[in-house]
Amino acid sequence: MAPIHDHPGEQTAQDPIRLLEIRDTPLSVDEIFRAVGDDAAGGTALFVGTVRNHDGGQDVGALGYSCHPSAQDEMRRVAEKVVADYPVRALAAVHRVGELVVGDLAVVVAVSCPHRAEAFAACRKLIDDLKHEVPIWKHQRFSDGTEEWVGAC
């Protein structure tokens, strides 16, 4: 069933998926926020994942992300599912790969929807599914010399 729109500004944008990338360069919250700007959106939710200095009670000394060649396609599949399940006006997601340091942005996702509750729910679904379904792996190296791979699908 097609949605009913009371106002011309509520009509669905041509392609709400505005930005999806996996990059080896620093991420920008401002870029992602601008990508989801939409005059018909009353709520925008943004999630920023950063590299922290510890995990599982251990000090993180170094960290790197890598991905499978299919990761970009899987990211699109996840985004398309969120767009199908929520009234998304605009969506963006960018994940970093390569070597990162504490404080670096690892992932930034944002969703704009007509209302805040929808934006929060869609953004949470986007980041949760991205982390669980997209083949991006984190290689943590701890200060005690041990290491761990996280997120290997």
Confidence of residue 9 (pLDDT cuts 50, 70, 90): low
pTM for the whole structure: 0.89
Tell me the mean pLDDT in the region 119-142. 97
* Residue-level pLDDT at 151: 74
For 11-135, list the strands marked E by DSSP.
17-23, 43-50, 54-55, 58-67, 90-96, 98-100, 105-113
Confidence of residue 2 (pLDDT cuts 50, 70, 90): very low
Nearest CA among 107, 130, 103 for reference residue 23: 107
Q: Write the burial class of residue 69 (CB in 10 Å: 0-12 exposed, 13-18 middle, 19+ buried).
A: exposed
54-70 residue pLDDT tens? 998 999 988 999 999 99
76-99 residue pLDDT tens? 999 999 999 999 999 999 999 999
